[in-house]
Amino acid sequence: MALASERHVVRELFVTAEAARREADLVAVARNAGATVIHVADRVAVALGETEHPQGVLAVVGIEPVALADVLVAKPRLVAVLVAAADPGNAGAIVRTADAAGADAVVLTAGSVDPYGGKCVRASAGSIFNLPVVTGVDVGAVLAELHQCGILALAATMDGGSIERIGAELRRPTAWLFGNEAHGLPADVTAAADRRVRVPIFGRAESLNVAAAAAVCLYESARVQRHESPEAGSGH
């Protein structure tokens, strides 16, 4: 559990008696960091936790909003943009994968699910607190700002060029745009992107789940940027 960073801080920590014993170090750290520690009965933890298997520790976390401009000024090399993401499980899974792939930020455009909702936070397995998450921005404004910063905007679509053919262009700072399960990306978004890119379907499946497609796209970018770029020095 992330107890504090630039962007978030634990204000209150609710713990059951059993969890307070098991996680004594964590409780001490939270208290020293300024959190109010509140002891609760097991059934209170169950009610608060929105989950069938509560861990006995719940935190109320204050989140500082992140502006797109703050993300872009840091010259990101890899960004995931979820356009009107509707499924919190997929959104959280993509945040987790983006974090794992070393992305610098995730953007959820206006009309997307709340990434701090319980289902999305759980699907992110904590990654929602690991990297800047920008919310509520207009997708047109995102595309304009990406263009202005020289960041390659790739629209993940069913009918674009195969990701295997982009090659060296993936070395550039890149933002991947992912649509929602039901509607994909709006036509004006794919038209405004620099390229439409598809993950090829080799079998009989009609499409990939957006979270699976995002895993392939983000890891392909990571592979190319970290191993084939002349600027990439050390590797990992």
Which residues sit at the interface with a copy of itself, rule CB under 8 A?
Answer: 89, 93, 96-103, 123, 125-127, 130-131, 162, 164, 199-209, 211-213, 215-216, 219, 222-223, 226-227, 236
Distance from chain centroid for Cα 14: 26
Q: What's the rounded Cα separation, in Å, for the pair 30 and 32?
A: 5
Shortest Cβ distance from residue 127 to a copy of itself (Å)? 5
Shortest Cβ distance from residue 203 to a copy of itself (Å)? 4
Shortest Cβ distance from residue 93 to a copy of itself (Å)? 6
Looking at the Cβ atoms of 88 and 192, the one nearer to a copy of itself is 88
Cβ atoms of residues 180 and 87 within 8 Å: yes
What type of residue is 141?
A
What does DSSP assign to residue 18?
Answer: H
Cβ atoms of residues 79 and 153 within 8 Å: no
What type of residue is 17?
A
| Residue 182: C-alpha distances to residues 83, 140, 144 (Å) | 12, 20, 25
Q: Which two tokens stand for residue 57?
A: 């520790």
Looking at the Cβ atoms of 101 and 175, the one nearer to a copy of itself is 101
3-state SS assignment for residue 26: helix
Shortest Cβ distance from residue 162 to a copy of itself (Å)? 8
Looking at the Cβ atoms of 98 and 189, the one nearer to a copy of itself is 98
Looking at the Cβ atoms of 73 and 201, the one nearer to a copy of itself is 201
Shortest Cβ distance from residue 223 to a copy of itself (Å)? 6
Q: What's the rounded Cα separation, in Å, for the pair 169 and 154?
A: 11
